[in-house]
Amino acid sequence: MTVSNLWLEHRVLFGRWLARLRREPLAVVALLAQPMVWLVLFGHLFTKMPVPGGDYLRFMTAGAVVMTTFNGCLTGGVELLFDRESGFLVRMLAAPASRVSLVTSRFMYLTVITGAQGLIILVAAWVMGVRYASGIGGIAACLAIGALFGAGITALSMALAFSLRSHSQFFPITGFASLPLTFASSALVPLALMPGWMRAVARLNPMTYAIGALRELIMTGWQVEVLASTVGALLVFDICCVAIATTAIRRGMR
Amino acid sequence: MTSSADAAVEVSGLTKDFGTTRALDEATFDVARGEIFGLLGPNGAGKTTTMRVLLTLLKPTAGTARVAGHDVTRDPVAVRERVGWVPQEHTVDPLLTVMENMTFMGGMYHLAPAAARHRAAELLELAGLSGQSDKVAKVLSGGTRRKLELAMSLVNVPAVLFLDEPTVGLDIAARRDLWAYVRQISQQGTTIVLTTHYLEEADALCDRVAIIDRGRIQATGAPGSLKITYQARTLDEVFLAATGQELAA
């Protein structure tokens, strides 16, 4: 497993994920339009909500970025389930390429795609009048934290993709998980406005941590302590998710 | 029996259990370098299991197998580098073009981009697919798709090529076309191991065959000499005699 071989493997695997996306124009449109839907729909639906700072759109920009990453990564593992179903995966396993590359190339792809979506949201929100307290560097920090959160979710999605028999089981499960987890987070509503039990759930939700840090970057500025504790919490979350995924993937590749 | 220096595949006492089911029971056979070797048997006989062990995708329960000079359990990556495989399932990506499928596989076998493109163009030429390089694979006919899969399995210039039921689902013209391509690959020095349950296919292509039933090798030899041994006119009759089955009423 030399570095140059790993590079060659990632190059073609990542290229394959991109080529598959390019051949589905509808999927490309959905990827670009969906972030807008969050901003426009929720941004206008809840304008009367009493949020810190008073500007709901500014409040929910962080939520829109993290929600988009969450949804993209949550369903992002399914392509490997398609490959398992079609027999393409086992053909790849018969090649000398490293098994790890099959998985890491998908991480790379989802990081790039959801990062681009996050950037679109941040730019669109700016056009709609949202200003960023931490400046351009803050936008980069928002995307980095989004990627750190997305990595754990991608790992869970992969664990699912390698545990289930078919994609007809995959989408009901991710669909079931998606909305409750989004609402039981600080994406759309401040924790202070939630009923007590829901606030308790939201405090355990890793999405809340990611959103909290992005919200500080957007509304307050650079809060080093908040950023450090968020990065720490997300790293712990990622490590747990990768541990779960590794077990499932090893079993699924046998 | 071939001497081990000339053997592309050496299988000795190979056994594979799935739980309490014995899928492969002490199979022993050799495939000489340059040969086209057929594994014949009914569904569930152990053909695909044998192939998957030789491809390093399954670990044998007992026995040993060497492919292209390397032990499948001790040195699986060396084996993978030296073999090609066309499985029964479709393994072209229908959303990629013919050329993209080829260069993808090249990368999976560690060819640099320029080398992968060069090799792909060469193989597509040989397969008669040069004119279709930029077509998205999902529009290809069944026969053309199979040829592409064969071309994809040759990117690493394999010493041994495994074909699992290569002509299932193809019409007669496409089947004969594919046979011609397989012979062409063989003439360039590649050893070929194929499974089939079309005895006509084994008769047309194979230098030697092994008849396998319920996980056991029942007979090995050239189709012609098996016909003499079993006093049979066709490979069908050899097959029935070797597996102890009666002709269906």
Distance CA B223, CA B225 (A): 6
Å between B101 CA and nearest CA of chain A: 9
pLDDT of residue B1: 45
User: Residues for chain A: how many in total?
Assistant: 254
Q: Contacts of residue A90 in chain B, CB cutoff 8 Å?
A: 57, 87, 89
The one-letter code for the residue type at B4 is S
B73 at the A interface (CB within 8 A)?
Answer: no
Q: What is the pLDDT of residues B11-49, one digit of tens each?
A: 999 999 999 999 999 999 999 999 999 999 888 889 999
Q: What is the pLDDT of residues B189-209, one digit of tens each?
A: 999 999 988 888 898 899 999
3-state secondary structure of B90: coil
**Cβ-contact A219, A211 below 8 angstroms:** no
Å between B36 CA and nearest CA of chain A: 21
CB count within 10 Å of CB B139 equals 11
The model's confidence at residue B246, banded by pLDDT at 50, 70 and 90, is low
**Cβ-contact A182, A210 below 8 angstroms:** no
From chain B residues 155-174, the ones with a CB under 8 A of any chain A CB are none
CB count within 10 Å of CB A8 equals 22
Which of A7, A14, A16 to mutate to test binding with chain B, by most B CBs within 10 Å of its CB? A16
Partner residues linked to B136 by β-bridges: B97
pLDDT at B4 over 60: no
Q: Domain locations in chain A?
A: 3-253
pTM of the model: 0.92
Q: What is the pLDDT of residues B105-159, one digit of tens each?
A: 999 999 999 999 999 999 999 999 999 999 999 999 999 999 999 999 999 999 9
Per cent of chain A over pLDDT 90 is 88
CATH code: domain B4-243 is 3.40.50.300
